[in-house]
Chain A
Amino acid sequence: MFEREDDVVERVIQQLRRPVTIDPGLDARVMREVADAPRAKPRVWPLWSLLATAAVLGTLLITHPWTRDDQSGPAAFQFVFVAPQAASVSLVGDFNDWDPKRSPMQTAQGVWATVVNLAPGRYRYAFLVNGVEWRADPGAPSAKDDEFGTPSSVVTVGGSGS
Chain B
Amino acid sequence: MGIDKVEPSDAELVRRVRTGDIGAYGALVSRYRDRLGRYAVHMIGDHEDAEEALQDSFVRAYRSLARCYDPARFGAWLYGILVNRCRTTGARAARRRRMFVHDADALNGATHADQADRVEWTDTVDRALARLAPEYREAFLLKHVEDLEYEQIAELTGAGISALKMRVKRAREQLQKYLREAEHV
Chain A residues engaging chain B, CB cutoff 8 angstroms = 2, 5, 8-9, 12-13, 15-23, 26-27, 29-31, 33-35, 37-41, 92, 97-99, 132, 147-150
Cβ contact within 8 Å between B122 and A15: yes
Cβ contact within 8 Å between B55 and A26: yes
Q: In the complex, which of the residues B30, B55, B125, B141 contacts A33, with contact meaning CB atoms closer than 8 Å?
A: B55
User: Nearest-CB distance from B143 to chain A (Å)?
Assistant: 10
Cβ contact within 8 Å between A148 and B55: no
Cβ contact within 8 Å between A22 and B64: no
B176 at the binding interface (Cβ < 8 Å): yes
A41: nearest chain-B partner, CB-CB:
B63
B69: nearest chain-A partner, CB-CB:
A132
B139 at the binding interface (Cβ < 8 Å): no
**Besides A20-B103, A149-B158, 4 other A-B contacts (C-beta < 8 A):** A5-B173, A9-B144, A12-B129, A147-B80
Contacts of A92 in B (CB 8 A): 66-67
User: Nearest-CB distance from A9 to chain B (Å)?
Assistant: 5
Which of B33-41, B89-97, B108-116 lies on the face that meets chain A? Answer: B33-41
Contacts of B63 in A (CB 8 A): 37-41
Cβ contact within 8 Å between B51 and A147: no
Contacts of A8 in B (CB 8 A): 175-176, 179
Knowing A16-B141, A22-B51, A26-B51, the reply to whether A148 touches B81 (Cβ < 8 A) is yes
Contacts of B172 in A (CB 8 A): 5, 9
A97 to B62, CA, bound (A): 11
Cβ contact within 8 Å between B176 and A9: yes
A40 to B55, CA, bound (A): 17
User: Nearest-CB distance from A154 to chain B (Å)?
Assistant: 15
Contacts of B29 in A (CB 8 A): 26-27, 30-31
Cβ contact within 8 Å between A148 and B64: yes
Knowing A23-B51, A30-B29, A147-B85, the reply to whether A15 touches B59 (Cβ < 8 A) is no
Cβ contact within 8 Å between B38 and A98: no
Contacts of B77 in A (CB 8 A): 148-149
Contacts of B30 in A (CB 8 A): 27
Contacts of A23 in B (CB 8 A): 51
User: Nearest-CB distance from B101 to chain A (Å)?
Assistant: 9
A99 to B18, CA, bound (A): 11
Cβ contact within 8 Å between A22 and B26: no
Knowing A34-B22, A147-B81, A147-B85, the reply to whether A16 touches B42 (Cβ < 8 A) is yes
A92 to B67, CA, bound (A): 9
Cβ contact within 8 Å between A18 and B103: yes
